[in-house]
Amino acid sequence: MGLFDALLGRRAVKGPAASERLFALSTAYVTLQTEYSISSAGVAGIVFQPLATADFQAMVKDMVEVVKATASEMGASVESKDDDYGFRWLIVRDPQAAVEDLVVTINGVSSGVEDGGYGERLLCAVFAFKDSQGQPVNFIYNYKRGTWYPFVPADGAQKRSTERELQLKAQLADELPIEPELERWFPLWGIPF
């Protein structure tokens, strides 16, 4: 944002970054699986802010139909859920746990929202994984910045395992565009899957 915009208090909400940064997860997953035995939990979700307008709702309806059709071709299912903060989740489940298919489906949702002219409403996408002990590990993609960061919930309310997250950052630094500013590693509590 320029100085002039700051002076005048004018600012538009930022739109999403280029989508190839989302696809970086497909290649990074190979490393995750082979070197660190972290495997996909077969589920991913995308969060956006729904607007209570007819145009937006029509866009979402059309987009969900298209995404459901393509997902079922890959053997995946899509469901929609609203959370306590008024954000909408579209959750993709793939029984074969193919990360590539999940990424493609999630990208279908985000490009649908973007093509509808509402790209700035996209918040983030979450991909769920499990490590060799079965502990959940999430990777969150921030649409505004086009960066990834790990999110590992720990035991206890609103606790996260920062140590594990920093390890994952070091392990994947070459494969994924990791968010460099740690204060932007925003947690997502109560992920509905």
Partner 1 sequence: MVLTMFLLGLVYAVLIGALIGAGASGVTIVVVALALFGFQLFASDKIALSTMGARVVSPQEAPELHAIVERLCVQADLPKPRVAIMNTNMPNAFATGRSQKAATVCATTGLLAMLEPAELEGVIGHELTHVINRDVMVMTIASFFAMLAAVIIRFAFFFGMFGGGYGGGRGGRGGGQNEEEAVVLVILVSVLVYAISFVLLRTLSRYREYAADRGSAILTGRPSALASALIKISGTIERIPSQDLRQAEGMSAFFIVPARAKNSMMNIFADHPPLEKRLAALSRLEAQLQGTSH
CB 105 within 8 A of CB 74: yes
10 binds partner 1 (CB under 8 A): yes
Specify the 3-state DSSP secondary structure of 4: helix
22, amino acid identity: L
Asked whether the CA dihedral 35, 180, 108, 126 is positive or negative, the reply is positive
125 binds partner 1 (CB under 8 A): no
Could you tell me if residue 17 is left (phi over 0), alpha (psi between -120 and 50 degrees) or otherwise beta? Answer: beta
Specify the 3-state DSSP secondary structure of 99: helix
Q: Which residue number, 18 or 157, has a Cβ lying nearer to partner 1?
A: 157
| Least distance to partner 1, CB of residue 156, Å | 8
Site string for partner 1, 90-119 (x = CB under 8 A): --------------------------xxx-
Site string for partner 1, 130-159 (x = CB under 8 A): ------------x-xx-----------xxx
Q: Which residue number, 9 or 134, has a Cβ lying nearer to partner 1?
A: 9
Binding test (CB under 8 A) with partner 1, winner from 20, 27, 35, 53: 53
Binding test (CB under 8 A) with partner 1, winner from 2, 61, 73, 86: 86
Site string for partner 1, 32-51 (x = CB under 8 A): -----------------xxx
- Written as six digits, the tokens of 8 are 């005048």
Residues near 124 by beta carbon (within 8 Å), at least 6 away in sequence: 46, 47, 140, 141, 142, 143, 188
- Written as six digits, the tokens of 127 are 């991909």
Q: How many residues bind partner 1 (CB under 8 A)?
A: 39
Residue with tokens 């499990």: 130
189 binds partner 1 (CB under 8 A): yes
Half-sphere exposure (Cβ direction) of 117: Cα atoms closer than 13 Å: 6
Residues that bind partner 1 (CB under 8 A): 1, 6-14, 49-55, 84-87, 116-118, 121, 123-124, 142, 144-145, 157-159, 181, 183-184, 186-187, 189
